[in-house]
Amino acid sequence: MLCQNCNVNPATVFVHRVINGQEREFHLCNQCAKQLEMQISFEDLFHGFLDTFLSNDQKQLYGQPNDLIRKKVCPKCGFTSDDFKNVGKLGCDQCYKTFREDLIPILRNIQAGTRHTGKVPGKSLLEISYQNRIAKLQNDLHKAIDNEEYEQAAKLRDEIKKIKEEHNG
């Protein structure tokens, strides 16, 4: 889902506001949510002094200050931090990244650590080794160019191209 404000970035924050006594919800990207939060903290600071500076459209859209609740929403499955709190389960694999900050303290409590130290599936092993190989060759390529060893650089470039082609199959 795209951000309802900029319509460009994926919505990752779920904003809940009470406007004229009615509850409204907005799906925003991180950037727009931050802008909104800054605006509102200014409003809090000056107790409405800056109210006159907020455009009527903004007031209409975001309602009055002091009623903003910031919620995260998973861009892949739409699961919100409230869903996670209520169900105690996650909606998809992306949720682990979206709710990472909420998860870490929970994992610290219930697990022996917050980092996996066990088995890695075969496919991921291949992927990790592919990425490491490419990173090393690209590093060598930059060094060769810096040292003006153009013949070596051409060989490395061809090798990178070949490995990428094989990988993408």
The residue ranges that bind another protein (CB under 8 A) are: 76-79, 83, 87-93, 95-97, 103, 106-107, 110-124, 128
Report the C-alpha gap between 9 and 164 in whole angstroms. Answer: 29
Nearer to another protein, 100 or 143 (CB): 100
Shortest spacing between CB 110 and another protein, in angstroms: 6
Nearer to another protein, 17 or 72 (CB): 72
Report the C-alpha gap between 125 and 119 in whole angstroms. Answer: 10
Shortest spacing between CB 16 and another protein, in angstroms: 20
Nearer to another protein, 47 or 116 (CB): 116
Shortest spacing between CB 12 and another protein, in angstroms: 17
SS3 3: coil
Strand 13-19 with 22-28, pairing: antiparallel
**8 A C-beta contact, residue 106 and residue 89:** no
In total, the chain counts a number of residues equal to: 169
Nearer to another protein, 114 or 139 (CB): 114
Shortest spacing between CB 9 and another protein, in angstroms: 22
Q: Give the list of residues 6+ apart from residue 105 with CB closer than 8 angstroms, or none.
A: none
